[in-house]
Amino acid sequence: MEQHPDAVTGQPFVLANEFAEVVVRKVQTRNGVRLQIADRKGGREVLLDPIELEALTWSTPETFSELLRTPHGPENDGQ
């Protein structure tokens, strides 16, 4: 489980379009520096470490398309 940020070290900025709006900032946690991405509409957030961010660069457009098909997990999850 990710640690809550101990300190915000970067100025937040907003990325938005007609489908989404997120606030991005650099934060310091007990486990090191993370990129915090918060969904302003849904109230969710994630803290990503450098290796998790690097892993995004390994992804293909198809990977993201699949994630967006079921953004909250498989429909039959838990059944």
- For residue 10, the one-letter residue type is G
Beta-bridge partner residues of 35: 26, 48
56 Cβ contact list (under 8 Å, min separation 6):
none
State residue 52's pLDDT score: 96
Interatomic CA distance for residues 46 and 35, integer angstroms: 8
- Give Rg (Cα) of the chain: 14
State residue 15's pLDDT score: 95
Beta-bridge partner residues of 25: 36
- For residue 53, the one-letter residue type is L
State the pTM of this model: 0.75
Q: Which two tokens stand for residue 20?
A: 């989404």
pLDDT digits (tens, 9 = 90+) for 3-54: 566 777 779 999 999 989 999 999 999 999 999 999 998 899 999 999 999 9
